[in-house]
Amino acid sequence: MASVARLVDSRVLIPLRLLGLTALAFVAVGAFLLLFGRNPIEAYGVIFKGAFGSGYGLSEVVVRAIPLMLCAVATAIPARMGLLNVGGEGQLHGGAMAATWGALTLGALPRGALLPGLVILGLLGGAAAAFVPAFLRWAAGVNETISTLLLNYVIVLLVEYMVRGPWKDPMSYNWPFTPEFPESARLSFYWGTRIHAGLWFALVAITLFYLALRRTRWGYEIRVIGDNPDAAARAGIPLGRYVLLTMCIGGALAGLAGMAEVCAIQSRLRPGISTGFGYTGFLVSWLALHHPLGIVVMALLLGVLSVGGDMVQISLGLPYATVNIIMALIFFVVLGGRFRKSRSG
């Protein structure tokens, strides 16, 4: 009996357990749909056909996965040392705003200089958004989950203000958005799809995350803190410095996602550039147990659900929220499935 338990707990079987529990979530949502008189098989069919039924669908999955991957890493890096960053949404918008400023004020620069500049601005904007809660945590012990959640609302409202005020497109009557970005500020698309250079950002970020965790001293020290903060402190690892570092780097990456959204997909700043990428990214990270490779897989899975969500809206008239319910339930089963020793509670 004990040996079976050990087998079940072994690292090899974790992905299988995850899969099994995810299937459970789908069954639960299926029952929910039945309750409302909808056909779950039909709905699931539409969801997966939407994603896999066409080249365009597949490419859209990737497009959705890009900001999810970046926002997931924004959550994963602090999570590795035990911090819960739910501020991806705000940090994404922070980066978007910084990039918008750059596109609107420095638009005259040639593309070769402007784009890298916008990347840097995106990183800085996101990092700035993350710095506030990080600082509050470091200096006053304010719980970062609550402060990042609150700040999300603030930053999104700031965007609403900016696109209706100082950055409003003078030629747009009363629509709330900025002028279109100049050609030099736009990321190009590949292969006739909407997949943009943000993909490289995301993949590079995840690769660096992986390498940093496994191969660098910083990743090592972060892992020690996450495993046993007491031992880390006794070994002279500076916990406070890492609070600031992990949050700001994470925020920067979410900010990069924001930059990519406004510079590639939207070509301008407007409310609604993000359909909850920050929160979904947070979800992706947790479902992946904060592992870099898992993040890629989970981001793609949730990308499938996201595209599927649009499809069920169009074809079946089901609300997009249907896939949100699926995602939330998967989150529940992963949390309840005891995949790692719980940190608190």
Partner 1 sequence: MLAMLQSVLGGGIRAGTPILYATLGEVISERAGVVNLGVEGGILVGACAGFITTAHTQNPMLGIAAAALAGGLAGLVHAFMVVTLRSNQIASGLALMFLCLGVTSFVGRPYVAVKINAVPQASVPGLSRLPLVGTVLFTHDVLVYGAYLLAPLIWLLLFHTKWGLALRAVGERPAVAYASGLPTSLIQYGAVVSGGVLSGIAGAHLSLAYARSWVEGMSNGRGFIAVALVIFATWHPLRSVVGAVVFGAVFALQLQIQARGVALSPYFLDMTPYLLTLVGLLLMGRARRHAMPEGLRAVFEGVT
Partner 2 sequence: MAVEAPSDGDHVYLRLEGITKSFPGVVANCGINLDVGRGEIHAVLGENGAGKSTLMKVLYGFWQPDAGTISVDGKRLDLRSPSDAIRAGIGMVFQSFMLIPAFSVAENIALTLPGSGVLLSVSAIRARLREFGSRYGLSVDADAKVWQLSVGEQQRVEIVKLLVSGARVLILDEPTSVLAPHEVTKLFEILQTLRRDGYTILFVTHKLNEVMAIADRITVLRKGGVVGTLPRARATLPDLADMLLGERELRAGSFERRDHEPGGRAVLELHDLSVRSDRGRTGLARVSLRVCAGEIVGVAGVTGNGQTELGEAILGLRRPAGGRVVLDGVDVTRRSTAAILAQGVACIPEDPLRMGVAPGLTIAENMVLDERARYMPFGGLLTDWRAIRREIELRVENFGIAIPRLSVPVGTLSGGNVQRLLLLRALARKPRLLVAFYPTRGLDIAATRMAQELLMVSRNGGAATLLISEDLDELFALSDRLVVLSRGAVAGSFRPGEVETVDVGLLMTGAAKRHEWQASPASSIPGS
Three-state DSSP class for residue 196: strand
β-strand partners of 189: 196
Residue from 64, 97, 102, 123 nearest 254 by CA: 123
First vs last C-alpha separation in the chain: 28
Closest contact distance (angstroms) between CB of 136 and partner 1 is: 6
137 interface partner picked from partner 2, partner 1, none, CB below 5 to 8 A per type: partner 1
Binding-site string for partner 2 from residue 199 to residue 218, where x marks contact by CB under 8 A and - marks none:
----------------xxxx
| Interface stretch with partner 2, choices 137-145, 150-158, 232-240, 311-319 (CB under 8 A) | 232-240
By the criterion CB under 8 A, which residues form the site for partner 1?
32, 36, 81-84, 86, 132, 136-138, 140-143, 145-147, 149-151, 153-154, 157-158, 160-161, 164-165, 225, 229, 239-240, 243, 279, 282-283, 286, 318-322, 324-325, 327-329, 331-332, 335-336, 338, 342-345
Which residue carries 């784009």 as its tokens?
A: 115
**From the list partner 1, partner 2, none, partner contacted by residue 345 (C-beta under 5 to 8 A by kind):** partner 1
Question: What is the distance between the alpha carbons of residues 222 and 217, in angstroms, rounded to a whole number?
Answer: 9
Please choose which of partner 1, partner 2, none residue 146 contacts, taking the beta carbon within 5 to 8 angstroms, the exact cut-off set by kind.
partner 1
82 binds, among partner 2, partner 1, none (CB under 5 to 8 A by kind): partner 1
Cβ pair 77, 249 in contact under 8 A = yes
Contact predicate 126/96, CB 8 Å: no
Q: Which does 220 bind (CB under 5 to 8 A by kind): partner 2, partner 1, none?
A: partner 2
Nearer to partner 2, 103 or 222 (CB): 222
Query: Does 14 engage in binding with partner 2 (CB under 8 A)?
Result: no
328 binds, among partner 2, partner 1, none (CB under 5 to 8 A by kind): partner 1
Task: Select from 125, 317, 134, 119 the least CA-distant residue to 202.
Answer: 119
86 binds, among partner 1, partner 2, none (CB under 5 to 8 A by kind): partner 1
Alpha carbons within 13 angstroms on the beta-carbon side of residue 157 total 5
Residue 339 binds what, of partner 2, partner 1, none (CB under 5 to 8 Å, by partner type)? Answer: none
Size of the site for partner 2 (CB under 8 A): 20
- Provide the token pair at 15: 């992905």
Q: Which of 116, 238, 272, 319 binds partner 2 (CB under 8 A)?
A: 238
DSSP state string for 113-164? HHHHHHHHHHHHHHHHHHHHHHHHHHHH---HHHHHHHHHHHHHHHHHHHHH
Q: Looking at this protein, which amino acid is placed at residue 163?
A: V
| Choice from 24, 142, 224, 244 touching partner 2 (CB under 8 A) | 224
Instruction: In angstroms, give the least distance from the CB of 272 to partner 1.
Output: 13
Q: Per CB under 8 A, does 13 bind partner 2? A: no
Instruction: CB nearer to partner 1: give 13 or 150.
Output: 150
Positions in 268-297 near partner 2 (CB under 8 A): none
Rounded CA separation 69/72 (Å): 5
- Residues sharing a CB contact under 8 Å with residue 72, sequence separation 6 or more, in sequence order: 281, 282, 284, 285, 288, 295, 298, 299
Which residues neighbour 334 within 8 Å (Cβ) at sequence distance 6 or greater? Answer: 18, 21, 286, 287, 289
